[in-house]
């Protein structure tokens, strides 16, 4: 937009000594010009006049705008590791609006993995600032949880992270059990481990599929979905549903494993393990794939820790932090597995970490196959666990307990607890407050993708727009969990 007045205004402006990008930030600059004065009475010359749909509007020149204003307008609060926010020198306020462009990617963009909207400031094809805008899938699940009993609670949380529903159920159940103080039978814990490890495999396979598609490898997409389907079929056999299982419940699991589960699981392991080697052939060694992923979206360990990142993103920077190893829950202390770490914190490291975590999960599942103990799949506590169907016909007490558990639910002692597990995306936490009734007083889920999304502005800065898709994919956000 050309401005006829700008040439004669320039001396006045430089004499004014306005700070341009260095030194302390002045937010008071725009206030020195009073918009309500008539134009000739103003001490400062006005900017340009634009014809808008609402009539003629006066605008200041870009240089008149303070840093805080620009930050708000561009919507980009850059998270710089020192926590300094967006400081003066970081914004080039001399860069005119003609040179940068703010575009919206999403919320309907297919490569944002759901309804994620990214506001990006671009200089040509280079991404300067990014702001993830979320909330398009917010359904108030934390509020809903306060209206549901503990028995019904896992039906609610399982819908958060829809790619790893069993982890959501697990974290809620562990929190409730910690407040109840019940100790689970061994078999229940091993079943939970088996199911969540299979779920980790299916979630990572889904990620391999979508990441492949984002980078243009549609074969990978088909392969990833094909392998995931095997696991979902086993889930359907065990829990009755392919997704949103409501299988892991406070007090154990909903049902014992089906007959012949060992064969099914062995077939899954024997199929998926060699196929990960095929993925190696398809992707890992490919020059095109490596160029699209290596040194793209880099992040350092200090930055990752400052931004509270967890999961494969944190491990890609070389920090060996896996809750299964560092703060073991269930029976993870009794199985043998490796924590995969990267070196450079780039997209390629995150890819190889997820690929190798599938292999580690196969390794864990094979050990579970050997070690699965006999026993009960849920705790035998009449107040917590509903009685078996057969008992209801012969025992009045069983009928009453059944009725109580499913109408009123069970009461959980007063207290608060924070429990965290390692979901495929990172630390999945549940903060539960009980007031002694049969419904949670407050249930907060710490979604790993919600926190990990904060890394996007840092990872994308200075990269190309085409790589923004790859970076977004490598963070692996699941919007159901981000927005909850």
Partner 1 sequence: MTPEATTAASVAGGGAPRVQAPVSHGAVFPTRAQYLGVVGDLRDDGFETCSDLCAVDYLTHAPGRPLPDGVGAERFEVVVNLLSLSRPRRVRVRVQVPAGDATLPSLFDLYPGVEAMEREAFDLFGIVFDGHPDLTRILLPEDWEGHPLRKDYGVGRVPVQFKGAPGPR
> Which of 74, 151 has the CB closer to partner 1?
74
CA dihedral 373, 376, 378, 383 (to 10 degrees): -150
| Of the residues 126, 415, 464, 465, which one makes contact with partner 1 according to CB under 8 A | 415
170: contact with partner 1 by CB under 8 A: no
Which tokens sit at 311? Answer: 């999961």
Judged by CB under 8 A, the stretch of 55-63, 92-100, 105-113, 430-438 that binds partner 1 is 430-438
CA neighbours within 13 Å on the CB side: how many for 180? 26
Which is nearest to 460 in space by CA: 450, 471, 449, 452?
Answer: 471
87: contact with partner 1 by CB under 8 A: no
Q: For residue 102, which phi and psi values (nearest 5 degrees)?
A: -105, 120
Nearest-approach distance from CB 484 to partner 1, in angstroms: 8
Nearest-approach distance from CB 442 to partner 1, in angstroms: 5
Residue with token string 């007083």: 441
C-alpha distances in angstroms, 109 versus 117, 118, 124, 292, 469? 8, 10, 20, 20, 10
Judged by CB under 8 A, the stretch of 156-164, 348-356, 439-447, 462-470 that binds partner 1 is 439-447
Determine contact, residues 127/462, Cβ cutoff 8 Å. Answer: yes
Nearest-approach distance from CB 128 to partner 1, in angstroms: 17
The whole-angstrom separation of Cα 86 and Cα 77 is 6
> Which of 60, 431 has the CB closer to partner 1?
431
Q: Which of residues 365-384 bind partner 1 (CB under 8 A)?
A: none
Determine contact, residues 253/339, Cβ cutoff 8 Å. Answer: no
> Which of 225, 431 has the CB closer to partner 1?
431
329: contact with partner 1 by CB under 8 A: no
Residue 177 — left, alpha, or beta (φ > 0 → left; ψ -120 to 50 → alpha)? alpha
C-alpha distances in angstroms, 452 versus 309, 342, 473, 477? 5, 17, 12, 8
Q: Which of residues 451-470 bind partner 1 (CB under 8 A)?
A: 451, 453-454
CA neighbours within 13 Å on the CB side: how many for 329? 21
> Which of 202, 317 has the CB closer to partner 1?
317
- For 220, other C-beta atoms within 10 Å of its C-beta total 21
| Of the residues 162, 261, 344, 431, which one makes contact with partner 1 according to CB under 8 A | 431
Judged by CB under 8 A, the stretch of 150-158, 248-256, 276-284, 438-446 that binds partner 1 is 438-446
Give the H or E element holding residue 252. Answer: strand 252-253
CA 159 centroid distance within chain: 14
Which tokens sit at 167? Answer: 């982890």
330: contact with partner 1 by CB under 8 A: no
> Which of 155, 454 has the CB closer to partner 1?
454
> Which of 39, 72 has the CB closer to partner 1?
72
138: contact with partner 1 by CB under 8 A: yes
Q: Please, is 321 exposed, middle or buried when counting C-beta atoms within 10 Å of its C-beta (0-12, 13-18, 19+)?
A: buried
Angle separating helix axes 347-371 and 186-214, nearest 10 degrees: 150
Determine contact, residues 478/162, Cβ cutoff 8 Å. Answer: yes
Q: Which of residues 147-166 bind partner 1 (CB under 8 A)?
A: 147
The whole-angstrom separation of Cα 153 and Cα 342 is 37
Judged by CB under 8 A, the stretch of 31-39, 109-117, 223-231, 436-444 that binds partner 1 is 436-444
Size, binding site for partner 1 by CB under 8 A:
50
Judged by CB under 8 A, the stretch of 1-9, 244-252, 361-369, 424-432 that binds partner 1 is 424-432
Determine contact, residues 118/482, Cβ cutoff 8 Å. Answer: no
The whole-angstrom separation of Cα 472 and Cα 458 is 11
Nearest-approach distance from CB 319 to partner 1, in angstroms: 7
| Of the residues 309, 330, 335, 421, which one makes contact with partner 1 according to CB under 8 A | 309
Nearest-approach distance from CB 296 to partner 1, in angstroms: 22
184: contact with partner 1 by CB under 8 A: no
Judged by CB under 8 A, the stretch of 105-113, 185-193, 357-365, 448-456 that binds partner 1 is 448-456
| Of the residues 9, 178, 294, 376, which one makes contact with partner 1 according to CB under 8 A | 178
- Helices and strands in the chain: count of H runs, count of E runs: 19, 10
| Of the residues 102, 433, 464, 465, which one makes contact with partner 1 according to CB under 8 A | 433
Determine contact, residues 430/444, Cβ cutoff 8 Å. Answer: yes
425: contact with partner 1 by CB under 8 A: no
Judged by CB under 8 A, the stretch of 83-91, 208-216, 348-356, 378-386 that binds partner 1 is 83-91
80: contact with partner 1 by CB under 8 A: yes
Nearest-approach distance from CB 83 to partner 1, in angstroms: 4
Judged by CB under 8 A, the stretch of 93-101, 132-140, 337-345, 384-392 that binds partner 1 is 132-140
Q: Which residues bind partner 1 (CB under 8 A)?
A: 71-72, 77, 79-83, 85-86, 134-135, 138, 140, 142-143, 147, 178-179, 305-310, 319, 321, 326-327, 414-418, 420, 427, 429, 431, 433, 435, 441-442, 444, 446, 450-451, 453-454, 483-484
């Amino acid at each position: 937009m050309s401005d006829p007045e700008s040439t004669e205004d320039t001396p006045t402006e430089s004499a004014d000594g306005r700070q341009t990008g260095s030194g302390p930030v002045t937010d008071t600059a725009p206030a020195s010009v009073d918009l309500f004065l008539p134009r000739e009475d103003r001490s400062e010359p006005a900017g340009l006049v634009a014809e808008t749909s609402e009539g003629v509007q006066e605008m200041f020149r870009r240089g008149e705008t303070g840093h805080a204003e620009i930050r708000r307008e561009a919507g980009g609060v850059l998270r710089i590791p020192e926590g300094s926010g967006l400081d003066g020198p970081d914004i080039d306020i001399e860069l005119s609006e003609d040179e940068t462009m703010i575009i919206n990617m999403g919320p309907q963009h297919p490569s944002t993995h759901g309804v994620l909207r990214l506001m990006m400031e671009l200089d040509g094809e280079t991404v300067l600032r990014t702001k993830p805008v979320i909330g398009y899938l917010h359904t108030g699940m934390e509020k809903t949880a306060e209206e549901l009993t503990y028995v019904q609670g896992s039906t609610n949380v399982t819908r958060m992270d829809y790619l790893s529903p069993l982890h959501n159920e697990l974290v809620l159940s562990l929190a409730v059990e910690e407040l109840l103080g019940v100790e689970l039978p061994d078999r229940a814990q091993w079943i939970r481990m088996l199911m969540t490890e299979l779920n980790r495999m299916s979630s990572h396979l889904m990620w391999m599929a979508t990441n492949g598609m984002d980078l243009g490898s549609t074969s990978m997409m088909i392969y990833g979905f094909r392998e995931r389907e095997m696991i979902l079929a086993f889930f359907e056999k065990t829990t009755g549903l392919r997704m949103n299982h409501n299988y892991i419940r406070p007090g154990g699991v909903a049902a014992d494993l089906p007959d012949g589960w060992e064969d099914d699981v062995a077939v899954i392991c024997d199929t998926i393990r060699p196929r990960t080697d095929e993925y190696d052939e398809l992707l890992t060694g490919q020059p095109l794939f490596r160029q699209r992923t290596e040194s793209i979206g880099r992040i350092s360990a200090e930055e990752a820790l400052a931004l509270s990142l967890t999961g494969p993103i944190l491990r890609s920077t070389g920090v060996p932090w896996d809750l299964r190893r560092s703060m073991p829950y269930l029976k993870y202390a009794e199985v043998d597995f490796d924590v995969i770490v990267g070196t450079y914190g780039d997209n390629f490291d995150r890819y190889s970490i997820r690929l190798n975590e599938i292999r580690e999960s196969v390794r864990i599942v094979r050990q579970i196959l050997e070690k699965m103990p006999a026993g009960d799949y849920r705790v035998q506590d009449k107040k917590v666990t509903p009685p078996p169907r057969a008992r209801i016909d012969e025992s009045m007490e069983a009928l009453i307990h059944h009725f109580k558990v499913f109408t009123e639910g069970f009461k959980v002692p007063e207290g608060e607890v924070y429990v965290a597990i390692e979901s495929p995306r990172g630390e999945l936490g549940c903060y539960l407050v009980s007031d002694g009734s049969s419904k949670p007083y407050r249930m907060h889920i710490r979604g790993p993708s919600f926190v990990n999304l904060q890394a996007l502005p840092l990872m994308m800065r200075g990269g190309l727009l085409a790589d923004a898709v790859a970076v977004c994919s490598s963070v692996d956000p699941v919007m159901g969990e981000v927005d909850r």
